[in-house]
Chains A and B, each alone.
Chain A
């Protein structure tokens, strides 16, 4: 309960601006411990994404700084057969060389070549045996990859989900509130979208638009709004007939006000739950799209591409890339779900 509501004895004098619905909801959210923790986690992820986008962190994610499949620092002693196989350091010492100089026609020139080679200075970068959270096949730092990958994954997941929810909510509100011809038209539009197989629709969009992040977002939002539309429409039909909406009409509230000031907060629980489900769904959808070759280009990294790589690594016991991508996704998704849950409770004054 916010401060103002608990002060039953001292009524604040009636000249202050009465706080709005969203202000009160925000106050209730701040009193919910789970909600605040979830909010902090989500904000942390988003700032990480923004920092990475601005080039402040994980700028050099693509540098091959470690040996292949470098061990994470906390298991530095573990054997790394792959790294040794790639560098081939031991081959020369294992068998005594056979003297072939009497049959090798090039033998007289070896000495000359060795001298010339000695003149060229080769600076071999010292590859690190261990990395903060291990390395991938090419020795790239997994931790940096995760941070860089969040840029694509969170950006795609969040924006696409918000866009889809926006489209679904507005169309659903229009159809449910107005009914009649508007509803018929939108239902027809909806039916077209749902009658085409999902993947086929995505392929069709992908074929028309050029490849890139904005295209992925557009595709996901444009194919993902349908479920939200149906649910929001149902809520609007239900609430449109309620007496409080009639009462709002009787006091002269405009259509816009009735749709978005009166009914929307009462349908917000549905919208919020849908939003959180779609964020999860779209982060995963980006993986599928990338797998089909319609997702992010090969020179970029996302949690999806990391998960795809991790499949092969797991067989040879290199679990850290899978863990890093999976854990970040799990933490973000859980925090986001908890946040929307708290937000839903905060918007419902009955549950304070």
Chain B
């Protein structure tokens, strides 16, 4: 399968970024070399900031203005060095011979043009097709990427399609000119597991069919197992290890590769703490894998009981009409004190709405939320204040959930002021300092702004903000979904430690079944606003009773399960 002459050779690629005049330029890529052979899939794996996206963008010459490519760098493609190719050459190559798919399909498509026009533009530009020929080819392409009813869908606008379909359109656009190399930059990170599986299968089948090469960039080593032929592992701008997929998965040589493989929660084991990068890079390199038992016991106290919760949204239709869209239908469950209830489902299954409704961030249509016997939905706003403190939420996007204009100190002190926790400002500030330490941030963070932190650190700040109010119940709404697997492991460990320490009860909402399996005692599967199945966490993974649950489970990337423990 692997041809002798690589389609693209990267040699001593060295990229720096000028930050400002005073500082030394930041070295993002430190002289790396690797090949992309013809007709193969190469996976470039690494955490945020490892330089993997910078490497990919340098191939297309799409680096920002402040990037400096060292003169010794070579990106050899068809006998030319793309690192210093003139713009006119690059424009001929981009989209035609090397094309790219980005992470966010919603922002990569132009919202004001039908998707057919956007694919057609590529065809007219690079292939010189006439309007009619382009349209016919567009329909063929949409059919090829598995969009149902392509004849109708060419006229659809991006917002009329789901995330998965948008990503299919992006792929159709990328393969429109039969490129020799397809660069996929985290193409599935923003998607649900079931959709992720479909997109991965699609890329694999297209690669085979068109005999093209694929450079697949991801932070999750788990997803590349199924589709990659060779894997390149990057850390801090350097290549730590490269090899065939079986080498990497079965006999990883570098501790960093081992760590990346280990930090993703797995369905077949549940250690007390997830291994993190530091376990491998420092100390004896042997993480503690002592297993933890999960599940409910007889006589666990119930802290929160939800009875027949229903939430219906009303959409405006026409001038006066309203259309009812049921988001949550008759949902009942119990949350035990000190335990974790996992809530799984695809996008649009109503799992986030459940979380927001029982905090009264949305008004429920009907039902009861009994917190220690008191129905929260019947309380007045004033009475609710006492309970507000006790149920807290951590949102998905740590970039959006912290007010960008406030310092971390202000963010942490505000809830204590509102709930009159701490006798005076000094006491509150001291508590904030203690909490920052507890979630693993330095005290200097108190004076910084959210934008100065990475995603994982911001999520720690959000957790610290909740802890200021000493809550009993914490709702984690996709709280680790936006994070790299390595950072995800750290945050999950933190959440677990806090539960052990403070006896918190969690409602853990996620679309990632492996994560939910790891952290939950009980798992609830939701689909279209209804509960499909609810059972002990081990039970549901070993003996799924419902077809839907089985479908969800089968779409987990299998790359890791094949690896010996």
Instruction: Please report A residues at the B interface, Cβ cutoff 8 Å.
Output: 4-5, 8, 11, 14-18, 20-21, 24, 242-244, 246-253, 257, 262, 265-266, 347-350
Verify A15–B430 contact, CB threshold 8 A: yes
Q: Which 10 A-B pairs have the closest CB atoms?
A: A251-B415, A243-B401, A252-B388, A349-B449, A265-B405, A243-B400, A15-B426, A18-B409, A244-B403, A14-B433
Verify A18–B419 contact, CB threshold 8 A: no
How many A-B contacts at CB < 8 Å in the complex? Answer: 96
Give the distance in Å from the alpha carbon of A266 to the alpha carbon of B400 in the complex. Answer: 12
**Across the interface, which residues of B come within 8 angstroms of A18, CB to CB?**
407, 409-410, 413, 425, 429, 446
Give the distance in Å from the alpha carbon of A350 to the alpha carbon of B448 in the complex. Answer: 10
Verify A243–B395 contact, CB threshold 8 A: yes
**Across the interface, which residues of B come within 8 angstroms of A242, CB to CB?**
400
Verify A249–B403 contact, CB threshold 8 A: no
Interface centre among A5, A18, A257, A347 (most CB of B within 10 A): A18
Give the distance in Å from the alpha carbon of A242 to the alpha carbon of B359 in the complex. Answer: 17
Give the distance in Å from the alpha carbon of A20 to the alpha carbon of B385 in the complex. Answer: 25
Verify B395–A350 contact, CB threshold 8 A: no
Q: Which chain B residue shows the least CB distance to A18?
A: B409
Q: Quote the shortest CB–CB distance from A254 to chain B (angstroms).
A: 8
Q: Quote the shortest CB–CB distance from A265 to chain B (angstroms).
A: 4
Q: Quote the shortest CB–CB distance from A236 to chain B (angstroms).
A: 14
**Across the interface, which residues of A come within 8 angstroms of B462, CB to CB?**
247
Verify A247–B405 contact, CB threshold 8 A: no
Verify A252–B413 contact, CB threshold 8 A: no
Q: Quote the shortest CB–CB distance from B471 to chain A (angstroms).
A: 10
Verify B430–A14 contact, CB threshold 8 A: yes
Give the distance in Å from the alpha carbon of A246 to the alpha carbon of B360 in the complex. Answer: 11
> When A18-B413, A250-B388, A251-B392 are in contact, do A243 and B397 touch as well, CB less than 8 Å?
yes
Give the distance in Å from the alpha carbon of A243 to the alpha carbon of B356 in the complex. Answer: 12
B interface, how many residues as a size bin? 35 or more
Verify A17–B425 contact, CB threshold 8 A: yes
Q: Quote the shortest CB–CB distance from A177 to chain B (angstroms).
A: 15
Q: Which of B388, B414, B425, B451 contacts A350 (CB 8 A)?
A: B451
Contacts A15-B426, A246-B401 known; list 19 others, CB within 8 Å: A11-B443, A14-B429, A14-B446, A18-B407, A243-B396, A243-B401, A244-B403, A247-B393, A247-B401, A250-B359, A251-B414, A251-B418, A251-B419, A252-B388, A252-B415, A265-B403, A266-B404, A348-B405, A350-B449
Give the distance in Å from the alpha carbon of A17 to the alpha carbon of B407 in the complex. Answer: 13
Interface: B465 (CB within 8 A) = yes
**Across the interface, which residues of B come within 8 angstroms of A247, CB to CB?**
393, 395, 401-402, 462, 465
Give the distance in Å from the alpha carbon of A252 to the alpha carbon of B383 in the complex. Answer: 11
Give the distance in Å from the alpha carbon of A24 to the alpha carbon of B409 in the complex. Answer: 12
Verify B385–A252 contact, CB threshold 8 A: yes
Give the distance in Å from the alpha carbon of A165 to the alpha carbon of B407 in the complex. Answer: 27
**Across the interface, which residues of B come within 8 angstroms of A265, CB to CB?**
403, 405-406
**Across the interface, which residues of A come within 8 angstroms of B404, CB to CB?**
244, 266, 349-350
Give the distance in Å from the alpha carbon of A350 to the alpha carbon of B404 in the complex. Answer: 8
Give the distance in Å from the alpha carbon of A265 to the alpha carbon of B465 in the complex. Answer: 20
Interface: B152 (CB within 8 A) = no
Verify A252–B410 contact, CB threshold 8 A: no
